[in-house]
């Protein structure tokens, strides 16, 4: 029952973030005079639907793993023959209008992140988690390697750490392996080899360092201070995410740290279990991820469409149909491949493969 509640909570969190993203596209389309034919939360057959006074069909669909806004004329090229009623078609709008409608989804995700950070900072204060070791597990990997309370962890295997969560993710991905831990001790830089502990979690092995980090909260901020602080925090997190993605692309860290839809829903449910502040923080983080990743210049994503519009603005005409078709096919293969890879990571992390092999013939 508890697992079911976590799954439902995770689906609700994921649905909220997707809804805000699609709401950005919808409101921008209405502003620029584009007819929105469908606003769907989820994919597949509609479980329930209704039509509003401007002709948009709102629906909740069977598979609650995303959503979409269908715009009249989105599938057609700007230079396609005109048809009756095309004055409200997406493809008949200017490059600027199409770009505004496209970028509005990620922008709304950023705004949601900032808003949630304002709420967290003004109601709960700023959590201050430093990579300083506060406790050592008895006979744990860190204690055996000579790490001490008060040491500040700065690098793992020579790579600068991004956050406490970054330390946890990298350590978990290397059970039983030797990891070089760069730290600062009383003003002196050290590097110690640590053989990570190997523990069972969710039916699979994960690494453990055996340390606890001190986390404190500052006093709640007044709203006028929370707003710029939230914007700064959002900006810093964008930088950390981009750096983390680059480290995965360049092979500096394991790609097994990538999570997909299943993992996100699982983590969402766990965050909700920890309380209001944890849930709001996770929604903010998820919203920021969705907005930032959608801006990547990959065909099929918002960033890919923005790239097409940029070429159109420079050339004075759309890219050829063949060029766009090849680009979209490449983008589709890339997105599907990433989805499959991240789903395999999620299933591995949840111990599904371990269970199948253990109960196989």
Looking at the predicted structure, is the pLDDT value of residue 307 above 70? Answer: yes
Residue 83: pLDDT band (50, 70, 90) is low
> Looking at residues 337-349, what average pLDDT do you find?
66
191 belongs to the catalytic site = no
Which residue, among 160, 219, 175, 20, has the nearest Cα to 104 in the 3D structure?
20
User: With 50 as the cut, is the pLDDT of residue 293 above it?
Assistant: yes
Tokens of 142: 């860190």
What is the radius of gyration, based on Cα positions, of the chain?
23
Judge whether 88 and 34 are in contact, CB under 8 Å. Answer: yes
User: If you write DSSP's letter for every residue of 10-35 in order, what string do you get?
Assistant: HHHHHHHHHHHHHHHHHHHHHHTTPP
| CATH code, 127-217 | 2.30.42.10
Copy the structure tokens of residue 260. Answer: 């997909």
Tell me the mean pLDDT in the region 197-210: 77
Angle at 120 (CA atoms; ends 114, 124), nearest 5 degrees: 160
Domain boundaries, the chain: 2-121+286-358, 127-217
Three-state secondary structure call for residue 50: strand
| Candidate list 22, 84, 243, 312, residue with the active-site label | 22
Dihedral sign (CA 171, 11, 39, 77): positive
pLDDT at 253: 65
Question: Can you give the pLDDT at residue 304?
Answer: 92
pTM over 0.85: no
The H-assigned helical ranges of the chain are 2-31, 95-123, 141-145, 164-172, 223-249, 261-273, 276-294, 302-315, 321-349, 352-358
Q: How high is the pLDDT of residue 214?
A: 63
């Amino acid at each position: 029952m508890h697992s079911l509640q976590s799954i439902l909570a995770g689906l609700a969190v994921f649905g909220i973030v997707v809804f805000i993203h699609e709401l950005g596209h919808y409101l921008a389309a209405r502003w620029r005079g584009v007819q929105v034919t469908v606003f769907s939360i989820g994919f597949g057959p509609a479980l329930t639907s209704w039509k509003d006074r401007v002709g948009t069909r709102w629906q909740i669909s069977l598979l609650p793993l995303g959503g979409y806004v269908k715009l009249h004329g989105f599938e057609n090229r700007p230079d396609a023959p005109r048809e009756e009623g095309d004055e409200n078609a997406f493809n008949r709008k200017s490059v600027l209008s199409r770009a505004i409608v496209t970028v509005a989804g990620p922008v709304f995700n950023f705004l949601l992140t900032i808003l949630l950070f304002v709420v967290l900072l003004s109601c709960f204060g700023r959590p201050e988690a430093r990579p300083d070791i506060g406790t050592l597990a008895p006979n744990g990997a860190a204690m055996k390697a000579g790490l001490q309370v008060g040491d500040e962890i700065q690098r793992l295997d020579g790579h600068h750490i991004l956050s406490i969560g970054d330390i946890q993710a990298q350590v978990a991905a290397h059970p039983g392996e030797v990891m070089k831990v760069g730290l600062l001790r009383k003003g002196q830089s050290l590097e110690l080899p640590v053989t990570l502990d190997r523990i069972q979690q969710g039916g699979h092995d994960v690494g453990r360092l055996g340390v606890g980090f001190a986390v404190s909260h500052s006093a709640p901020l007044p709203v006028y201070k929370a707003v710029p602080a939230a914007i700064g925090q959002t900006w810093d997190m964008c930088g950390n995410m981009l750096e983390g993605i680059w480290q995965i692309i360049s092979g500096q860290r394991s790609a097994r740290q990538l999570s997909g839809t299943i993992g996100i829903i699982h983590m969402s449910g766990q965050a909700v279990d920890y309380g209001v502040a944890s849930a709001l923080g996770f929604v903010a983080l998820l919203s920021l991820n969705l907005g930032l990743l959608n801006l990547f210049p990959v065909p099929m994503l918002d960033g890919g469409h923005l790239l097409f519009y940029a070429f159109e603005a420079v050339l004075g005409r759309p890219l050829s149909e063949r060029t766009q078709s090849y680009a979209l096919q490449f983008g589709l293969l890339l997105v599907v491949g990433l989805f499959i890879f991240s789903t395999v990571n999620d299933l591995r992390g949840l111990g599904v493969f371990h269970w199948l092999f253990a109960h196989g013939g």
